[in-house]
A and B are shown apart, each in its own frame.
Chain A
Amino acid sequence: MDFEEYAAKPLLAAAGIAIPRGETVTTPDEAAAAAESLGPVVVKAQVPAGKRGKAGGIRPADDAASARSAASEILGMAIGGHTVERLLVEERADIARELYAAVLNDTASKGPLVLFSTLGGMDVEEAAAQDADAVRRHAIDIRHGLDPAAAGNILDGLDLGEATEAVADVLVRLYDVWRSRDAELVEINPLAITGDGRIVALDCKFTLDDLSKVRHEDIVGSGVPDTLTELEARGRDLGLTYIELDGEIGILANGAGLTMTTMDAVRHYGGAPANFLEIGGQSYTKATPALDLVLSNPKVRSLVVNFCGAFARTDVMTEGVVNAWEELKPDVPVFFSIHGTGSKEAVPIVRERLKMEPFPTMDEAVRAAIAAAK
């Protein structure tokens, strides 16, 4: 779950990292009032997208009147497919130098990675492309964390002068934000050294590990909610991953891998999938509501039920589907392929109660479903 700047910065402040004074506003009048009390400000669009500056979503304003006009221009803009509805009005910093700092999940080292660069203010990938040594990378043993000495080593030889110790302190605190808030990513860009020698976070990106949300109920409400269709939201409420697509072949399969492959097979044989919906893992007992969900999409003209059970028992899933079928009496044709755990019990359920024969392969079931949808 991503957090926009206005929601991410308070997490830094709570860990003792300095951020500019500022206010979150939604109208030009509020922007003017904020500038009135803050002095010269920056008016910043709050949208879950990058490149806000290039899109014209970040503007300086010297006084209340110019803050009002900047706000009225930015509000309602479309940036990265999002309409700007909220602004952050912040006191303008006197920037002497711009740095980059981040802590993120690293699959290669299987732990946290600290990134640091003195080329702040730009995309770190661009900085790295310009100069491979421009970005320092430091893998951390999560059991031991990052102490001030190790943070100092990351900055070794970087010519930060008197600021070195304070920047190292920010790195330690940034790591603490990552660790204590189960972040996937926390990034400060730019991290400014001001004219009077203070270290201030001028922007922040924060991504919460979705698997850790339950530990951070206090902040989940200020993250960017998923944009879901009505059916996708219904799936989420049922504890199912349902993704709505444009096609006409409904898909019900177990396991993410097999479900993706069933979609691939539909494409391969010339059809278009109507959805991704897997009922594997712990959700294999939810076949009945899952079927209801797939059939609620009016685009669905035929249905493939493809089970290859490992953990997910095909007998339990098939019984759920057949129960639902008898209850809903849908008027779309269905094509089964059933293998794996419990298939010896599952196949007779289809045979006896739906009077049909499961196909010996996924490919045949998919081809039959495509033919029936035409």
Chain B
Amino acid sequence: MSDLAGMIVRAPDRMLVQGITGRQGSFWAERMQEYGAKVVGGVNPKRAGEEFLGVPVYESAVAAAKETEIDVAVMFIPPMAAKAAALDAIEAGVRLLVVLTEHIPTQDVMYFMAAAKDSGTRIMGPNTAGLVTPGETFVGIMPAWEEDICRPGRVGVVSRSGSLGTLACLNLVQAGLGQSTVLGLGGDPILGTTTIEALQALEQDPGTDAVVLVGEIGGTAEEDAAEFIAAMSKPVVAFIAGGASPAGRKMGHAGAIVTGDKGTYRSKRNALEKAGAAVLDMPSQLGETMHKVMASRAAAVPQSGAIEFPTDH
């Protein structure tokens, strides 16, 4: 099992961009570099040996790993080529593999998930928008540099959706709060890192005081995490998208579909509320609610070393 803390990207992380010379790969690799991410190379077998965006292009992740140390690989790779690229990164021994690709055939996903489990590689996604640790580094396709979206702070953000994760970040910054880290999990049914694992990582993270959980209809990730949320020392504020969505239709994400009585808005909301999370009706309530829960938690938690007096009742 890979280390939970490993899903949080840090300033020293050395990153490899698979598909760096493509239209999207080059655009986002450049944004990552501007932000300060340590991009140490890229992959494109047709342009191996060239230099691109000031870094070497390698034939494969395995070839790159022979030349340079890599902590994180990120895939700007089309769906039908994703399995081979993921297996390449896993074989190269990266700690963390960020799979941005959407619409990868499900059995291809299962195949590289099984390989990653054996090697202890942490996978984020597929269909994730990536990871941001404001003020340190970012990987993927999040607007980390936009000052009204990402700002250093003490709230950890977990989101299945990239666009909605971005909205949650915006709402935090509008309320004068910032993020300790932003973890994009992805919109697919089968994910390398689940909601509960992301919450476990933030519970352990000393830079995080509170958590925003942005979920959506479909699957049981939020229900599965409820028991852990109930035991967390840090407050959790949650929003579930899709309350107004019809059942039986895939709402854009392969994972966002309600069939039968599983994965409904109501079942998720009930499970989270029962676990003690503050569940929002609208994302715009995030800032105010977060201030409130952080203040009440700070008042309730005794300072370390404080003496506890027995009470009368």
Contact = CB atoms under 8 A, between A and B. Distances in A.
B299 to A, nearest CB: 30
Given A257-B253, A261-B239, 15 more contacts: A111-B113, A142-B107, A142-B114, A182-B107, A210-B254, A211-B103, A245-B246, A255-B164, A260-B242, A261-B167, A276-B249, A280-B163, A308-B163, A310-B129, A341-B143
Interface in A332-352: 339-341, 343
Interface stretch (A22-30, A65-73, A265-273): A265-273
B253 A110 contact: no
B163 A212 contact: no
Residue among A211, A276, A282 with most chain B CB within 10 A: A211
Contact of A265 (B114, B146, B216, B282): B282
Interface in B111-170: 111, 113-115, 117, 129, 141-143, 146, 148-149, 159-167, 170
A40 to B, nearest CB: 36
B106 A257 contact: no
A353 interface: no
Interface string A358-373: 0001110000000000
B201 interface: no
B105 interface: yes
Contacts of A212: 105-107
Contact of A264 (B110, B190, B242): B242
B245 interface: yes
Contacts of B71: none
Interface of B: 24, 28, 79-80, 100, 102-107, 109-111, 113-115, 117, 129, 141-143, 146, 148-149, 159-167, 170, 174, 187, 189-190, 214, 216-217, 219, 239, 241-246, 249-254, 256, 281-284
A257 B282 contact: no
Residue among A112, A253, A258, A282 with most chain B CB within 10 A: A258
Given A243-B249, A264-B241, A255 B162 contact: yes
A184 B250 CA distance: 15
A340 B144 CA distance: 9
Given A257-B216, A260-B256, A142 B242 contact: no
Given A259-B252, A266-B244, A273-B244, A308 B106 contact: no
A255 B251 CA distance: 10
Contacts of B109: 110
A312 interface: yes
Interface string A203-232: 000000111101100000000000000000
Query: Mostly helix, strand, loop or mixed at chain B's interface?
Result: loop
Contacts of B114: 110-111, 141-143
Contact of B166 (A267, A273, A340): A340
B237 to A, nearest CB: 15
Interface string A236-269: 0000010101000000011111111101111110
Interface string A122-156: 00000000000000000001110000000000000
Given A257-B216, A261-B241, A361-B284, A241 B111 contact: no
Contact of A211 (B129, B254, B256): B254
Contacts of A311: 24, 28, 100, 129, 141, 162
A281 interface: yes
A189 to B, nearest CB: 17
A258 B102 contact: no
B110 to A, nearest CB: 5
Interface size range on A against B: 35 or more
5 contacts: A105-B189, A256-B161, A257-B159, A260-B217, A261-B164
Given A256-B256, A257-B160, A143 B284 contact: no
Contacts of B284: 361-363
A268 B281 contact: yes
B149 A105 contact: no
B141 A310 contact: yes
A212 B256 CA distance: 18
B163 A182 contact: no
Interface string A176-190: 000100101000000
B2 to A, nearest CB: 14
A147 B68 CA distance: 40
A176 to B, nearest CB: 13
A296 interface: no
Given A260-B217, A340-B149, A341-B146, A276 B189 contact: no
Given A255-B161, A276-B251, A339-B167, A215 B243 contact: no
A142 B187 contact: no
A253 B107 contact: no
Contacts of B253: 256-257
Residue among A255, A264, A311 with most chain B CB within 10 A: A311
Given A261-B283, A276-B252, A362-B284, A309 B143 contact: yes
Nearest to A209: B106
B216 A105 contact: no
A264 B214 CA distance: 14
Given A257-B162, A276-B245, A310 B252 contact: no
Contact of B164 (A111, A182, A258, A281): A258
A308 B103 CA distance: 21
A254 B163 contact: yes
A18 B132 CA distance: 54
Contacts of A243: 246, 249, 251
Contacts of A339: 146, 148-149, 166-167, 170
Contacts of B110: 105, 110-112, 142
List 6 A-B pairs, minimum CB-CB distance, nearest first.
A257-B161, A255-B163, A256-B252, A257-B164, A258-B163, A311-B141
A105 to B, nearest CB: 6
A257 B241 contact: yes
A182 B174 CA distance: 46
Given A110-B114, A256-B256, A211 B163 contact: no
Contacts of A241: 250-252
Given A142-B114, A257-B187, A310 B244 contact: no
